[in-house]
Amino acid sequence: MIQHKPFFEDEQRHRRAVHRQWCRGGAFVAPTIIMLVFFFIVPIVLVVVMSVSRWTLLGGRMGVAFPDNFRRVFSDPLLGQSVIFTFKYTVVTTIILQPIAVALALLIQQSRRWNSIVRTVVLLPAALGIASASLLFYAIYSPQVGPVTKILDAVGLADAGTSVLGTPNGALVATVVLVVWRFTGYYMILTLVGVQAIPNEVYEAAKIDGAGPWRTFTDVTFPLLKPTLAMTTIMSITGSLLAFDQFFILTKGGPNNATMTVVQLIYKYAFETKRDLGMAAALSVLVLVALVAINALQLKAMGVSDSEEER
């Protein structure tokens, strides 16, 4: 007579082993899921709820305020001003930051002699947080103790005691200099990883075809670097759209709200002039929608780049 008991015992043993594996895997994944829920999903849901609610910082009667919060945001003249300035700052920062990062990455890739020195010097500012770097540059730009005003006064570009942060254009330039100094090393490393991923055989083939340095860059390096450049560009754009610390420390949005960013306006709604968390949440939702659209463009750009590489 055939005994089926061992077969069933093996099947039960296999199920218990699979169950233990699932439990072990779940134990490793659970902390990440908990953090994702409490620090990402719950805040987003709370912000969406607040955006359609009457929710003031100092208390008071609460209730539904849709679409009043959004209507008040769109009717605020500071919104258009802050969007225009944020867009200007984003364009200027990205246009300056990306070419410098690419140039330094190519320099490090081709020059082995100065590789470690250049990498250390450029990466050193990245060790500072943006708030710490902003405080450092605030002291540098100070008309009392900083060297910048004294240098500009010596060459006749500014009067003694005049702060470079006192004019809209001066504040923009000063902040862009800070951001480029702080983030160049970070984007250089990302670009360098993309450059080092390009096979040497491609460069050897271009050299055999008689391509010079410029043609090698335009026909070989740049096309193969497009996925990396798309990623760093979108990261730069996203970071610039969310700029807060540097402007809050250097200019406080001044002079006359000329350097007010969108995120600063959210802070202003919540904790300064309006003290209206519902209105601040409504603008936060609009910013979130804009960032989702930008991420969608990033995915599309990366998909196009990948399809071009496959061809």
Per-residue pLDDT of the chain (311 residues; tens, 9 = 90+): 445 555 556 677 767 777 777 887 778 888 888 998 888 889 889 888 888 888 777 766 677 777 888 999 899 999 999 999 999 999 999 999 999 999 998 888 877 776 777 778 888 888 888 999 999 999 998 888 888 888 887 887 776 667 888 888 889 999 999 999 999 999 999 999 898 888 888 888 888 888 788 888 888 888 888 888 888 888 898 899 999 999 999 998 888 889 999 999 999 988 887 788 888 999 999 999 998 888 787 777 666 445 444 44
Between the CA of residue 4 and those of 11, 17, 261, 283, what are the distances in Å?
11, 20, 73, 67
Q: Are residues 168 and 279 in the same domain?
A: yes
Task: Let me know if residue 199 belongs to a domain.
Answer: yes
Q: Are residues 207 and 286 in the same domain?
A: yes
Q: Are residues 42 and 72 in the same domain?
A: no
Q: Are residues 80 and 165 in the same domain?
A: yes
CA distance 150 to 157: 10
Q: Are residues 136 and 235 in the same domain?
A: yes
In sequence order, what are the beta bridge partners of 157? none
Task: Let me know if residue 58 belongs to a domain.
Answer: no
Task: Let me know if residue 60 belongs to a domain.
Answer: no
Task: Let me know if residue 30 belongs to a domain.
Answer: yes
Q: Are residues 78 and 206 in the same domain?
A: yes
* Beta strands per DSSP E along 203-281: none
Q: Are residues 26 and 87 in the same domain?
A: no
Q: Are residues 163 and 262 in the same domain?
A: yes
Task: Let me know if residue 53 belongs to a domain.
Answer: no
Task: Let me know if residue 216 belongs to a domain.
Answer: yes
Q: Are residues 42 and 75 in the same domain?
A: no
177: CATH = 1.10.3720.10
Task: Let me know if residue 63 belongs to a domain.
Answer: no
User: In total, how many domains does the chain have?
Assistant: 2
Task: Let me know if residue 51 belongs to a domain.
Answer: no
* Cα–Cα nearest to 286, from 52, 31, 9: 52
Q: Are residues 76 and 202 in the same domain?
A: yes
Q: Are residues 11 and 114 in the same domain?
A: no
Q: Are residues 134 and 214 in the same domain?
A: yes
CA distance 64 to 50: 9
Containing structural domain, residue 38: 5-46
Label each residue of 195-226 as H, E or C. HHCCCHHHHHHHHHCCCCHHHHHHHHHHHHCH
pTM of the predicted protein model: 0.82
